[in-house]
Structure 1
């Protein structure tokens, strides 16, 4: 074969290889453009969704209805005990919060006794943020059911029943309203057509959202957050770990020389300390 023929074949082969390389490069560029466009589309969609979600979270809501007997700004707080008790115990809880369940199972009987003795006026803020992180409606439905129980005059008993029967955080049992209605049967006088309708219709859904928004605006980021006269006591009060005995001791120390509250005194004035707008010392525990 002549050198000229060899050169011609080599040149043709080189041209073919060069063209193939060019085609492959072009194909890679197209793929990158397609993938890049898809990524940008996903990012854009995520931004839009994020804005929508953030708008939903931050949109101010005024509850159209609040449970009877609630107190404070916009009636967001559920009070238990005599409102003229010398100390205020403020509790922020989420129905799905496992740490809240642990706290309530250990401390509820002591808190009930302190309330009954006129030593503390407990202010409950029932929040519902866990539904944001864990799929389901258990926080919101549970909070609404607690609002319905408050409206019916049976909050404390239903609250205690709810936490004694709390499912695992990832189990959205409280998202099923039938489960909540079933638990209500354990509270004498609560399982009525009015209560059932309140739970099924999510009558206090707007109120639940408003309570959560109040929590979002506060310095508190976790549950349970527990304050005694505006100062955090869960899990510690200074260097002392909280126990039922220590809680009773701290309350007695705070009440020393003060007149105890009287049974049956349940006014509608806001709690003097511990509200989301007034207290600035969040508990470090997470729910």
Structure 2
């Protein structure tokens, strides 16, 4: 009889021990689950933080950051790069994309006349740089070239580098201007431009945000394409009768009138 009671007590003791073990195991499991949940939440927060940081650093190929206007930029929000004297009687406003073949065609046809009128003090040109082709065909060549042109403005070499970029413009579907090394190589064609300061400005994308702000202004202006060339508020590029000779006549008349 005693042996039977002892056997039952031993069984109860074993069961009590097993229950304590199970309780301890359940407690450890709950601790692990809670701990894992905390790690997942922290991990998710870390991932979200990294994604947010990366989104802030780069969007569409450009580094996000403060809007840094190039030296001497003028007009509303300092979005215009001026070429020529402030006292000129006529101002030509040009919205252009350095990757745009129509912009190149305008430059080739009008450049000698524009240079002549600017150098004589009769005309000032306000250049606004946009990135229309990047949006239409993809890539970052419009942005990279515009930033490089703004860097050339910082160095006082905008007009010469502007001419070089159009003289070496790739085909519209070729995003060659997206390569900073190519843009720096082309700067060697402009005396005194290829300096460490210019190279750093190009590589750092110093004026990327400024270019994007200029592009937003272009979109907000309701313009339909590049080039948009305004003289006295009228888009002369859309005037089928306009020629370099006619433009020269108009500018000279304004200078004498």
Partner of 1:138: 141
Shift of 1:251: 1.2
1:239-250 aligned within 5 A: 241-250=241-250
Partner of 2:253: 253
Unaligned 5+ runs, structure 1: 1-51, 258-287
Q: Which of 190, 194, 219 is matched with 2:193 structurally?
A: 190
More helix by share: 2
* Greater relative CO, 1 or 2 (CA 8 Å, sep 6+): 1
TM-score by length of 1: 0.66
Q: Distance in 1 between matches of 2:236 and 2:96?
A: 14
Shift of 1:162: 0.5
> The residue matched to 2:237 in structure 1 has which SS?
coil
TM-score by length of 2: 0.73
Q: Distance in 2 between matches of 1:114 and 1:143?
A: 24
> The residue matched to 1:146 in structure 2 has which SS?
helix
Q: Distance in 1 between matches of 2:90 and 2:204?
A: 36
Q: Distance in 1 between matches of 2:254 and 2:235?
A: 14
Partner of 1:167: 170
User: What do residues 205-261 of structure 1 show as CA deviations (whole Å, max 9, x unaligned)?
Assistant: 11011101111110212000111122221141xxx622221211121223332xxxx
Q: Distance in 1 between matches of 2:96 and 2:67?
A: 22
Shift of 1:62: 8.5
1:2-81 aligned within 5 A: 63-81=66-84
Matched, 1:118 2:121: yes
User: How many residue pairs align between the two structures?
Assistant: 197
Unaligned 5+ runs, structure 2: 1-54
Structure 2 CA distance for partners of 1:134 and 1:235, relative to 1, 3 Å: same
RMSD: 1.8
Q: Distance in 2 between matches of 1:234 and 1:250?
A: 14
